[in-house]
Amino acid sequence: MTEVLIRSTRQALAAALAAALCLAAPAAWAQAAGGTRTAPRTADYIVAVVNQELVTASELEQRLARVRDSATRAGAKLPPPAELRAQVLDALIDERVQITHARENGARVDEAELDRAVANVAVQNQVTMAQLRQRLAADGVDYGRFRNNIRDQIMVERIREREVQGRIRVTDAEIDALLDKQRAQAGAAIEYNIAQILVTVPEGATDTVVAERRARLDAALARVRAGEAFEAVAREVSEDANRAQGGVIGMRPADRLPDVFVAHVRSLKAGEVATTPLRTGAGFHALKVVDRREAGAFSVTQTRARHILLRTSAQLSQDAAIGRLSDFKRQIVARSKTFEQLARENSEDGSAAQGGDLGWAYPGQFVPEFEETMNALPLGGVSDPVVSRFGVHLIQVLERRQVSLDAKQQREQARNVLREQKFEPAYAEWLRDLRARAYIERREPPT
């Protein structure tokens, strides 16, 4: 299953800050490769201690400089300097808390996936793997530590998804409410085949006549409850034009049925009889739903797509990932390489082995920004780079098909929508809990 998931505002900020760290110059290699265990340099000092990890002033200043540079290029407005510094330090502390938690909980990363991530660092910096090792060694950075730092970043993503998703609870009542809302919005898209037993009431009838007519319908309903076929009782008792057909009206859209009928049977399943009579100007009605069909409300378009995912990190900035994927798109359009080939060689997702194929997906299965781009593509079309929670994607649509959802699939789709809606608050709560359990000490500059 792909890891294209919903993106939270807090994570978007953290991702943007991380993306601003780019290995643009040799001096940055030691800082990026050393990760959370970089020791303070001369004239440097510690601004925060998180569990056993240090955040140094030099690291904070480098991150601030890159955030400012990124904002300048994007034309974005930044908060006042003191507020920005506090936000960036807070983001660095969040990173340390999550990394230490991931290590302690034994999250694992496949070696092949780690190899691809390291190779992407080399490609971004336009060096070979041999040159990458040489540059790291020249800056005094151990290659094993460099790999472990990248491994930490991937582990954090995985444990974050596992634990945050585990906090989300969706009740049957919430699913029912969402489905009812979708059905109401669909309106005439729902079709009903209704059968009725009608006992008419003459205009201006006395209370005695009304009571006698009601009693007649109650007796008919009692026979149905006792086991007689609704249609058989309708043929004998009903006074409507469809009595010869057992009172069956036939399949009709909801907007071609009386509103009072639709309201009376909306909660009924196929084969169920309304427990109480319905009174209208014509008389008393007993209604049965012979069949119901969600003609348009739960007929959906499935899409089969594939993607290439590049994860943004301290080693691969968002801008660099966008640049690489833009180059991939040029190669695909020029037919010098296929999408499938590039996905197998470069994608940092579990779908890489399948050429990036994500299989058939229902609406709402992917993060909104990913899905919106995918839905706008023609068959065979290749998107521009798309930023999501896990990095930057290149998307290609392979096939589309129209399918009707059965009751179980409707509920599962509703459950997925509700889980996505609850993800952001669950993530914020998870991070607060991690910070509450962590040892965090902020330090003032030395005098």
CA geometry: angle at 326 spanning 325 and 328, to 5°?
Answer: 60
In contact, 51 and 96? CB cutoff 8 Å: yes
Distances (CA, A) of 44 to 40, 58, 141, 227, 361: 5, 6, 19, 86, 51
Span(s) in the chain for CATH 1.10.4030.10: 9-169
pLDDT beyond 50 at 38: no
pLDDT beyond 90 at 435: yes
| pLDDT (average), residues 121-137 | 83
> For residue 145, what pLDDT band results from cuts at 50, 70 and 90?
confident
What's the CA gap between 285 and 216, in Å, rounded? 11
pLDDT of residue 124: 66
Share of the chain above pLDDT 90, in %: 44
* 186-294: in CATH 3.30.70.3270: no
> For residue 29, what pLDDT band results from cuts at 50, 70 and 90?
very low
pTM for the model: 0.51
Residues ≥6 apart with Cβ < 8 Å to 318:
15, 16, 19, 20, 312, 387, 392
Task: Quote the distance between the C-alpha of residue 253 and its chain's center.
Answer: 32
Q: Which fold has domain 9-169?
A: Triger factor/SurA peptide-binding fold (1.10.4030)
pLDDT beyond 80 at 297: no
pLDDT of residue 30: 33
Task: Quote the distance between the C-alpha of residue 359 and its chain's center.
Answer: 16
pLDDT beyond 70 at 35: no
> For residue 296, what pLDDT band results from cuts at 50, 70 and 90?
low
Task: Return the closest-CA partner of residue 162 out of 353, 445, 404, 427.
Answer: 427
Give 333-348 pLDDT, tens digit per residue. 999 999 999 999 999 8
What's the CA gap between 76 and 138, in Å, rounded? 36
| pLDDT (average), residues 285-309 | 84
Share of the chain above pLDDT 70, in %: 87
pLDDT of residue 154: 84
Between 368 and 431, the more confident residue is: 431
What's the CA gap between 232 and 172, in Å, rounded? 36
Give 146-189 pLDDT, tens digit per residue. 888 888 888 888 888 889 989 999 999 999 898 888 767 655 46
What's the CA gap between 201 and 217, in Å, rounded? 11
Lowest pLDDT segment from 7-11, 302-306, 330-334, 412-416:
7-11
Most confidently modeled range among 173-177, 252-256, 303-307: 303-307
pLDDT beyond 80 at 426: yes
Structure tokens at 273: 């009889």
| pLDDT (average), residues 125-129 | 80
Most confidently modeled range among 38-52, 194-208, 307-321: 194-208
Give 10-22 pLDDT, tens digit per residue. 333 333 333 322 2
Structure tokens at 125: 């910096």
pLDDT of residue 298: 63
What is 299-406's CATH number? 3.10.50.40
Give 54-92 pLDDT, tens digit per residue. 999 988 998 898 888 878 877 788 899 999 999 999 999
> For residue 24, what pLDDT band results from cuts at 50, 70 and 90?
very low
pLDDT of residue 14: 34
pLDDT beyond 50 at 245: yes
What's the CA gap between 261 and 279, in Å, rounded? 10
> For residue 5, what pLDDT band results from cuts at 50, 70 and 90?
very low
Sheet holding 357-361, edge to edge: 357-361, 299-310, 391-404, 386-388
Give 355-370 pLDDT, tens digit per residue. 999 999 888 788 888 9
Span(s) in the chain for CATH 3.10.50.40: 186-294, 299-406
